[in-house]
Structure 1
């Protein structure tokens, strides 16, 4: 499902797109929600419980070829969301917030989740 919203205020124009989908990966329902704003993306990944325990940010800089990243919320020793936000930031060329909320016992599905994001979410919100 893709939702588009455009707002204008005093000469400034904002475009917001939201993309949501669910998939079964390794017998678990995975929910992905992406919000694309003018110059950033927010991606939430989790199960039906809807927890929001982690938030990482990555962005490109003019001085490095790799994006910098920071843990904004959650356990800084879990680098899953930070690594994913860096890869997405490199691909999209903009800042990316990632809230990765799958239990560590389900870490094997990260590759499949990432593949889905690049195959289905990024093309849908980039158009």
Structure 2
């Protein structure tokens, strides 16, 4: 029975949560990272909403990671493309929930740059 408890303890130690925020284009944007075994979940938004969810992972058949939208409006490609770029950068499975209006492409670029900056500052959180 002890080996089972040890396995559960080892599995829970691999999860970690990391939050950060930044004011981008006059609005406070919040970031929530849940580090998983072999990947991470990234939530981006201004209020606690989960309006979409995309997942991306590497493929042995293609140099470009695979990505798909699991939840949300399929006409909004922001979460899938962000997940794909983060998978390409980290070589990990990435889940992304991007809950910001897609009215300004500059905001999307600023958000992605802020994520990359945080990855450089805290690589152990991703």
The structural deviation recorded for 1:40 is 1.4
Runs of 4+ in 1 over 4 A off after TM superposition: none
Distance 1:125 1:32 in 2: 15
Distance 2:62 2:50 in 1: 30
Distance 2:114 2:44 in 1: 11
- Structure number with higher strand proportion: 1
1:111-122 counterparts in 2 under 5 A?
111-121=109-119
Q: Which residue of 1 aligns with 2:25?
A: 26
Q: Which residue of 2 aligns with 1:39?
A: 38
The structural deviation recorded for 1:61 is 1.0
- Structure number with higher helix proportion: 2
Q: Which residue of 1 aligns with 2:58?
A: 60
Q: Which residue of 2 aligns with 1:16?
A: 15
Q: Which residue of 2 aligns with 1:4?
A: none
Q: Which runs of 5+ in 2 are unaligned?
A: none
Q: Are 1:103 and 2:101 counterparts?
A: yes
Instruction: Name the TM-score, length of structure 2 as normaliser.
Output: 0.86
1:97 to 1:110, Cα distance in 2 relative to 1, 3 A: same
Q: Is the 8 A contact 1:34 1:121 kept in 2?
A: no
Instruction: Name the TM-score, length of structure 1 as normaliser.
Output: 0.85
Q: Is the 8 A contact 2:102 2:108 kept in 1?
A: no
Name the larger-Rg structure: 2
> How many pairs are equivalent?
119
Give CA deviations for 1:82-106 in whole Å, capped at 9, x if unaligned: 0000000011111100000001224
